[in-house]
Each structure stands twice: as structure tokens, then as C-alpha cells.
Amino acid sequence: MKPYQKLLLLFVFALALNACATKPEEAVQPIGEEAVVQGAAEEGALAGEELGADGRPSVMRVHFAFDSSSVDSDNRETIEAHAAYLTANPSVNIKLEGHADERGTREYNLALGERRAKAVVQMLAVLGIDRSRMTDTSYGEENPLDEAHNEAAWKMNRRVEIVY
Amino acid sequence: MLPSFYVNSILILKNSDMTYFRKILPVFLLTVLAFVNGPAHAIITITITEGGEGGTPIAISPFKWQGKGKVPTEVSDIVTADLRRSGRFSPLAREQMPAEPYRDKDVVFKEWRLVKATALVIGYVTPVKPDLYRVEFRLYDVFRERQLAGYRYTVKADRLRTVGHQISDLVYEKLTGEKGAFSTRIAYVSQERSADKKRLYRLSVADSDGANPQTILSSVEPLMSPAWSPDGKQLAYVSFEKKRSMIYLQDLKQGKRIRVASYKGINSAPAWSPDGSRMAVTLSKDGNPEIYVINISKKSLQRLTFNRAIDTEPAWSPDGRHLVFTSDRAGGPQIYRKPVTGGQAQRLSFEGNYNARPSYSPDGQKITMITRRNGKYNVGVISLADKSMEVLTDTRLDESPTFAPNGQMVLYATERKGRGVLASVSADGRVRHLFTLTEGDIREPAWSPLNP
């Protein structure tokens, strides 16, 4: 087993324990060699559960509540992980791409997507990342991850993509 | 499947010789990049979903074809379909007609009174020379036994449909007192999946009955917000072909286009002033979305809103003096109005906590927009006289409402059985239509001005 895989397992184990402690109603996945944290990408919350080969955080999106551009605590962990990576790699720049779900009007949603992207820029700036290293853009509701017309799809689509 | 012409029709933009529309706003004409009368293989079908019954009975006698072989276009079929689709008329079926007159002297009013037709349309089509046809028609008041209108047109075969729509407009106006909008066109955005699952976006223009769809631009990146110039010769729109929103103006006939806004941040929501000289847009170059007015010929930019909130979706009043727009300065999105010369913004919407994307009726008395009720996004109409709001739809995900240029209908986008479709509702709520595409989703309808 490679060192980073051990680290990964440790993370998974710690997260699973944490889940047990705080949310006893959630099922805990059995942990073995192929252990995967289910639904991590969807929740967009579990920063550091896996490390990319280059050490970059693997969670590349943060999700938002309906009609909201505020960054919740789970998202904060993701953003902090990116801030740590960017601090360690000062030559790397990123793009924050804001998206909205399909409900409501298109041009207003374009503005909402931008507001979300700027909220992430702002948080990264507070964490010490120079604004000149970040650009933001919005696709509004034009680029959904899931094209279904239901709550699950909408939750998936309200997001900011972190693009390196 | 991916038809072979796709390969040619996907827009490829070369930007090396393009300069941004910055402070001095230099305009560079781009040639051959956009489509001129390009193919559009998805066909729009329009069906009446409500209110097809109860219109005024009218008889449209089949126009007599005086040439050999088959007539290129059955003009009277187009007139019949237009008038039926309006919901205001119930055209008589051919088998109910007592006769099929096509000359003035053949009309016997009494027999049309017996079948309860209040008005009668007759006509004929004659070949004049190769690919040139003469169409003549007359409209009669059956009870007063009087001719109400009569015209003759000489056109090429490809204009026979247009003649049909013009006849429909004349009949509609003579009988209802309102202008017809059958000769108008509709611009819309459609989205399909290509064979490799990539999205393909098209901006297209079709006749008001869905015929003659022509793609004027296609792209693998999103296209948004088509807006007609008041002369009906140009469309403004937003394209993401450079991976972010930018505003373009495109000449429909020649396919030439210019980029009018590519500032940092959002460039969106173009709306032409009624005189065609200016364009209201939303730009976030100064930090957050604000409304600006671009003077197209002077190439100047004037900022109209100053607010930390979202200000977007501007639309002009028909007299060109005001802009209505969406702003969430009070928390949620609501409709505001502001003089184009600047000044205080006045809030117009008060019912509900989500009202957005306003646009005026042609008479300037009403505003249609999207309003949220019980988690559903519906088409609403505010009467400016008393600020009362009427909700016209009961679907779930309505968007982009716009009045027909004669004010008789509101056209909007919605979702039906998982697909994007267009729908329309008459101003009185009685007649409803559905516009579906043979494949893919259709959205963001923009109705052309009258007589483009």
C-alpha cells in the first residue's frame, strides 16, 4: 500500500467515526481496501477524503442552498483545502465558475451564479489568496450537471466549480 | 445521430482580428462566421391546447389554382390555419361549404348565411410566368353583403406563404379591429445532444406558425437572450463561445455580426430601445450586475443603476422613456422602473417574493414577468394602472414571457414531460398553444416586431 493510500484510509476512517458521532442515523460504509466514501462528491463537503496525485484537493465543487450564495461549513472545508493548496503552490491560478439551478429566470440566474463565484473568491481572499490569482465567471442555469427537473438535480446544479 | 452538416455548422470563431467594444467601442464587422439562412432540422409543431372552440364562424373557400400540376403552396390552407390558431375564429370545414367560389360574381351570400358563416374569404392563384404567381383575394361581410377587403399580390413561389400570412393579418384586423401578428417571426434557442453527448445550442428564427425554421448561429457553448431590433433586421444575443458571456448583434440577412459587450464579468440581457439607437444591457464590470445603456452609433456607455444588489433583465417602455428591470435590492427579486435619463427607481411588484424578467405590452399598459407562487414559477401580468397582478399559467417552470407584438398573446418557455417547450396564452387566458420541437429543447422565445 502506498503512503498516500494509507493516509486516505485514515481520513476515511476518521470521517466515518465523525459521521457516527454526529449523525447516528447515517449508515457507515464498511471500510476495506476499496473503501469509498459514498456520496462525497454530491455533498461537496468532505474535504481531504482523497488526495490527487499532485496533492491537489479532489473536491472541485461547492454546492449552495436554494436562492443562496452563502458558504456553509462543509463547503468551508473544501475551500480551505484549496486555499492551503494555493498557498503551497503560489504559481497556480484558479477560475471560479458559478452556476444556478433552472428555477426562475435565466438572466437573473446568471447574476446569481456570479454572486456564488464571488462568494468563493471572497472566502479564498480572506484565507490569504491574492485576488489576482483568481478569476470568476458565471454560466447561470445554462450548464447543468444534471438535466432532470427535480430537487436532486437542482441541488447538484447550484454550485461553484473550482477550475485549475 | 449527428447529421453530416453539423461538422460545417458548428461555429468556429477566429478572434485574432477582433477588438473588444471598450471605452471607444470600435466596431469590427465579422464576416462568414455566423449563419445566413442555415439549415435547422428540428421542426416546430404548434397545437392549440385550450380554447380551440367557440371562435367566430368564418368560411375560407379554397383558393382556385389556375395553373397546371400542383400549386406550390396552398395559400388558403395557410390562412385557414392562421385564423383557427388565433382562437378568435372557427373556419368552416371544406365539406360544410355550400360552394367554392373564387370570383366576386360567383358569391351567393344567402347560402353562406345558411351555414352561419359571418365572413367569407375567396381567392385564386395564377401562374404569371415561370416562378411568378398572382394571388388575389377578397373578404366579405356575409350579413351586410359587402366586400371588406380585396388585394392582389404578384410574388415568387417562396413568398406564397408570406402572402398567406398577410391575408390572415388583413382578415384578422378587418374582423377584430386588432392588428394581426401572423406575418411576424419568432427567434428562439434550442439545445440538442450530438452523438458524443455534447450539447449543441442553436439560435433560430421561424415564421409565427413555426414554418421556415432557419438557424442563424450554432455553438457548443450556451446561447442566450435573443432580442429583436425594432426594424426586425437584427438580433442581439448572448454567446458563451469564448467561455464567458458576451453580447453580439447579428444582421439576419447577411449573417454579419459585431460584438458589442465583452467586459470583465457578466455581459447579458440585451434589450433594444424602441427607436433602435440604443441597447440596454447588464454588465458586472464594476463589481456587480448593473444596467447600462449603450448608444450603438455613438459607441458610448451610460450606467443607469448604482446598487450593491443584482440589477438585470432591463426592458424598454414602448415610448422609450423608461426601463423596467429586476432587482433584489429589497432582498428577493422584484420589478422596478426607472426613467432612462436616470432618477429614482420605483418598485412595481408587491405580490409574492419572486418577480423577475419584466417586459411591456405594446400599449405600455401592462407588464408581463415571472412570478413565484407556492414554489412554482408562473407567467404573471401586472396592470400598471392599479398595480394588480394576474397569474396566467399553472405550470411549474415558466420562463421568458413576452407579449406578441399585437398584444393579443403572451409567449413563454416552460417544461413539459421533461422537455423544454414554448407555450402561449391569449391575453384573456382563453386560448392556449404549445410549441414543441421534433427533437431537443426549445426556449427563450423572442417575438419579432410587426411587419419585419
What's the confidence (pLDDT) of residue B385? 94
pLDDT of residue A4: 53
| Interface with A, mutate which of B262, B266, B370, B402 (most A CBs under 10 A) | B266
In what order do the strands lie in the sheet containing B223-228?
B223-228, B234-239, B246-251, B257-261
User: In chain B, which residues have pLDDT < 50?
Assistant: 1-38
Q: Which domains does chain B have, with CATH numbers?
A: 28-45+184-447 (2.120.10.30), 61-176 (3.40.50.10070)
What is the predicted pLDDT for the residue at B198?
A: 86
Strand partners for B224: B238
- Compute and round to an integer the Cα radius of gyration of chain B: 23
Residue B289 has its nearest CB partner, among A111, A139, A143, at: A111
Confidence of residue A28 (pLDDT cuts 50, 70, 90): very low
In whole angstroms, what is the distance from residue B380 CA to residue B402 CA?
11
Q: Which residue has the cell 485576488?
A: A131
> B75: exposed, middle or buried (C-beta count within 10 Å: 0-12, 13-18, 19+)?
buried
pLDDT at residue A88 greater than cutoff 70:
yes
Q: State residue A72's pLDDT score.
A: 85
- The length of chain B in residues reads 452
Task: Report pLDDT for A21.
Answer: 39
Q: Is the predicted pLDDT of residue A96 greater than 70, yes or no?
A: yes
Amino acid A74: pLDDT:
81
Q: What are phi and psi of B354, to 5 degrees?
A: -150, 105
CB distance B243–A106 less than 8 Å? no
Domain boundaries, chain A: 1-38, 41-163
Interface residue B400 vs chain A (CB under 8 A): yes
**What is the model's pLDDT at position A93?**
96
- Smallest CA–CA distance from A135 into chain B, residue: B265
CB contact under 8 A, B310 and A108: yes
The pTM score is 0.84
pLDDT at A58: 87
Least confident of A39-43, A83-87, B309-313: A39-43
Q: Which H helix or E strand runs over B268? A: strand B267-272
Predicted-complex ipTM score = 0.88
pLDDT of A37 > 50? The answer is: no
Q: What is the CATH number of domain A41-163?
A: 3.30.1330.60
Of A106, A118, A148, the CB nearest to B224: A106
Q: Does A105 touch chain B (CB under 8 A)?
A: yes
For residue A53, the model assigns a pLDDT of: 52
Quote the pLDDT of residue A16. Answer: 44
Mean pLDDT of A20-47: 39
